[in-house]
Chains A and B, each alone.
Chain A
């Protein structure tokens, strides 16, 4: 087990190194180099010179690459071009918002997706099953930012059910502990703040959950159908076991194995959906940070760190999934 984990961690490190190296050299190879990309065409030669020296771009490329690697390893990504703050501070500030949104979305996707997929399989070919299939097909075919605007239009403009944007009402006096507003409210017993934050969370979380929800339903359904056809379910029936025992002990346990994989993949991919969702709801998390860093002049230091972070999350989640597999499926030996 330990050997596998360390081998995977080394693999992770190599992948990230390769990713960073690709980005580094790509940025340097842009026509005019990163400086032009940063300054645009309006820059005077003097500002150019100053920026080049400030960024150390006058040194040989291999020296620059060495500096770059050293900085990445020590977590020093430099300062944001847009705000001038250290990149790590900017990211640290936006991180909790996205974590809160992503956790809420996955709770919705798993909490609704697994039961719905299971029910659809049990009612194969009947109205419930067909309705679920159509719903999931639309779910993966709809641009989620459009769905976001649609929900916002219906539930915040036409009917005032949910707040249209932001994470918490202005004027709400909440104490920041973890940065996850719903959790903070519970921790500090400011329950009104917690409820308000939860209220703000509903629509963005549903929007972000759309694709993982649709995919989890489809995989669960297919997997349950597979298992229902399996010989060992026939054996369980031949034993005369009661229905709940057959379903819980024999059907669900086996059917959930492939679902775990897909949950992992979808969790890792949430950041992509968050970019779109956060823009719709003005959420102020990492997704917004990505959008801000690419709109207009590009904030490459921030962007670089965000890409690295996304890759780390994605790979680590997949590693966790693989390891959890070894726990829940006795056939897999790590």
Chain B
């Protein structure tokens, strides 16, 4: 009955093979592929990468030592003049006669450091709390969740202000810890909620019905799905973290070390104080903060879009 000519049969095989390629791609490879095709994520990642390179290679990129005060700059410093660009100092001086460009470049390092640390600490503590609550259930769950309720009873920046204000003295670490702790309840609730939803989801029920081991279900089915939400949140949190750190500096609760070159400090202390004398002291760190925050927000949004299984095609 089947008298299909050989070349036509090949044509059909070829066509069917092509159409069949669509299926059977694993979730993560698929997500990675969609992430690479997502323009939002790409733009975000590019911005972050650029600043990361500057941060890592700061000593090689920066023309000068960021804490050294230069006589050629200090001699022109008065109450209402701060030297602008000169030969050897393309961004001019900061209020203490230091090379502003070098401070901006080292600022990438310090700012990333604060953001990464605050986000990571917040994430780790939050995941720990949320994971324990989600896995243990019962009264442990209730206590942990009530605890997060208390923390969430204040707007996040206000909580950070409170935490720093309650510390006996501010240091760089009080800022990092305050910004980190603010995010702990968010991560905790996110992971717990996601794990509970996973536990009731059809694919976990199916795995359980098939007799898959509990440990296997948690590590293979529940955690990967819950962690994507946490990773996306962490990316978005980074942007908020450096903005909060800058706000704390502006309120006089930041790092008191005058040598520290960090954008939030540069903007929140010198930037606003000398806004009318030399607005660049505010513009440059503000622009850098906006760009980095934008980069992380874009990457986070892009990841959320790409990792959402609803968008699978």
> Chain A interface (Cβ within 8 Å of chain B)?
14-16, 18-19, 22-23, 26-27, 30-32, 36-37, 137-138, 140-143, 145-146, 149, 153, 157, 268-273, 275-276, 279-280, 290-291, 293-295, 298, 303, 307, 310-311, 314-315
Contact A310 B290, CB 8 Å, known A19-B150, A146-B271: no
Report the separation of the CA atoms of residues A315 and B150 in the bound assembly, to the nearest whole angstrom.
10
A-B pairs with beta carbons under 8 Å apart, 11 shown: A26-B166, A141-B239, A141-B243, A141-B293, A143-B243, A143-B247, A272-B161, A276-B247, A290-B161, A294-B165, A295-B252
- List B274-297 residues whose CB lies under 8 Å from chain A: 275-276, 279, 282, 286, 289-291, 293-294, 297
Interface string of B138-166 (1 = CB under 8 A from A): 00000000110110011111100110111
* Cα(A9)–Cα(B164), bound, Å: 29
Q: Which of B150, B243, B253, B293 is A22 in contact with, Cβ under 8 Å?
A: B150
B311 contacts A by Cβ under 8 Å: no
Q: Which 6 A-B pairs have the closest CB atoms?
A: A269-B155, A272-B157, A141-B293, A272-B155, A311-B153, A272-B158
Q: Does the CB pair B267–A146 fall under 8 Å?
A: yes
CB distance from A27 to the nearest CB of B (A): 7
**A32 with B250: CB separation less than 8 A:** no
Complex formed: what's the CA distance from A65 to B42 in Å? 54
Residue from A18, A141, A303 within 8 A of B290 (CB atoms): A141
1/0 contact string of B80-103 vs chain A (CB within 8 Å): 000000000000000000000000
B197 to chain A, nearest CB (A): 19
Q: Which B residues touch A23, using CB under 8 A?
A: 162, 166
Q: In the bound complex, do residue A140 and residue B297 qualify as a contact, i.e. CB atoms below 8 Å apart?
A: yes
A143: contacting residue among B164, B168, B286, B294, CB under 8 A: B286
Bound-complex Cα distance A37 to B293 (A): 35
Q: How far is the CB of A3 from chain B (nearest CB, A)?
A: 20
Number of interface residues of B (CB under 8 A): 42
Contact of A268 among B155, B239, B279 (CB under 8 A): B155
Nearest Cβ in chain A — how far from B8, in angstroms? 42
Other-chain residue from A137, A146, A279, A293 in contact with B298 (beta carbon distance below 8 A): A137
Contacts of A272 in B (CB 8 A): 155-158, 161
* CA of A16 to CA of B154, assembled, Å: 10
CB contact between B153 and one of A16, A271, A276 (< 8 Å): that residue: A16
| Residue B246 at the chain A interface, CB threshold 8 Å | yes
The interface residues of chain B lying within 8 Å CB-to-CB of A30 are: 166-168
Residues on the B chain within 8 Å of A295, using CB = 251-252
Contact of A153 among B252, B276, B291 (CB under 8 A): B276
Is the CB–CB distance between A276 and B276 below 8 Å?
A: no
**In the complex the two chains form, is B251's CB within 8 Å of A291's CB?**
yes
**Assembly CA distance A269 to B153 (angstroms):** 10
Q: Is B185 an interface residue (CB 8 A)?
A: no
Q: Which residue of B lies closest to A291 (CB)?
A: B251
With A157-B276, A275-B158 known to touch, is A143 a contact of B153 (CB < 8 Å)?
no
Question: Is A141 within 8 A of B297, CB to CB?
Answer: yes
**Chain B: minimal CB distance from A271 (Å):** 6
The interface of chain B, by Cβ under 8 A from chain A, is: 146-147, 149-150, 153-158, 161-162, 164-168, 239, 243, 246-247, 250-253, 264, 267-268, 271-272, 275-276, 279, 282, 286, 289-291, 293-294, 297-298
Complex contact A276–B251 (CB within 8 A): yes
Task: Give the docked Cα–Cα distance between A143 and B250 (Å).
Answer: 10
CB pair A310 B155 closer than 8 Å: yes
**What is the bound-complex CA distance between A108 and B154, given in angstroms?**
23
Q: Which residues of B contact A27 (CB under 8 A)?
A: 166
Q: Are B297 and A145 in contact (CB under 8 A)?
A: no
Question: What CA separation (Å) do A298 and B276 show in the bound complex?
Answer: 30
B276/A271 in contact, CB under 8 A: no
Q: CA of A26 to CA of B167 in the docked complex: distance in angstroms?
A: 9
The answer to whether B286 touches A311, judged by C-beta atoms less than 8 angstroms apart, is: no
Check if B282 sits within 8 Å of A146, measured CB to CB: yes
Residues of B within 8 A of A294 (CB): 161, 164-165, 251-253
- Enumerate chain B residues within 8 angstroms of A275, measured Cβ to Cβ: 157-158, 161, 251
Given known contacts A153-B276, A294-B253, A15 and B153 CB-to-CB distance under 8 angstroms: yes
Q: What's the nearest-Cβ distance from chain A to residue B47, in Å?
A: 11
Nearest to A280 among chain B residues (CB) is: B272
Could you tell me the distance between the alpha carbons of A14 and B146 in the complex, rounded to whole angstroms? 9
Given the complex, which residues of B lie within 8 Å of A18, measured CB to CB? Answer: 146-147, 150
Q: What residues of B have a CB within 8 angstroms of the CB of A36 in the complex?
A: 168
Query: B37 to chain A: closest CB distance in Å?
Result: 17
Shortest C-beta distance, B287 to chain A (Å), equals 10
Give the CA-CA distance A138 to B293 in the complex, in Å: 9
Q: How far is the CA of A138 from the CA of B291 in the complex (A)?
A: 9
Please measure, in the bound complex, the distance between the C-alpha atom of A260 and the C-alpha atom of B246, giving whole angstroms. Answer: 30
Q: Is the CB of B168 within 8 A of A32?
A: yes
Beyond A153-B279, A271-B155, A272-B156, 17 extra complex contacts between A and B, CB < 8 Å: A16-B153, A26-B166, A30-B166, A137-B297, A138-B290, A143-B243, A143-B246, A143-B268, A146-B271, A146-B282, A272-B155, A275-B158, A291-B252, A294-B161, A294-B164, A295-B251, A295-B252
* Residues of chain B within 8 A of A268, CB atoms compared: 155
Nearest CB on B from A299, distance (A) = 10
Interface pair B243/A311, CB less than 8 Å apart: no
State in angstroms the CA–CA spacing of A23 and B163 once bound together.
Answer: 10
B153 with A145: CB separation less than 8 A: no
Across the interface, which residues of A come within 8 angstroms of B247, CB to CB? 143, 145, 276
Cβ–Cβ < 8 Å partners of A14 in chain B: 146
Q: Which residues does chain B contribute within 8 Å of A293, judged by CB atoms?
A: 165
B290 touches A142 (CB 8 A): yes
User: Contact: A307 with B250, CB < 8 Å?
Assistant: no
A31 to B243, CA, bound (A): 29
CB distance from A247 to the nearest CB of B (A): 26
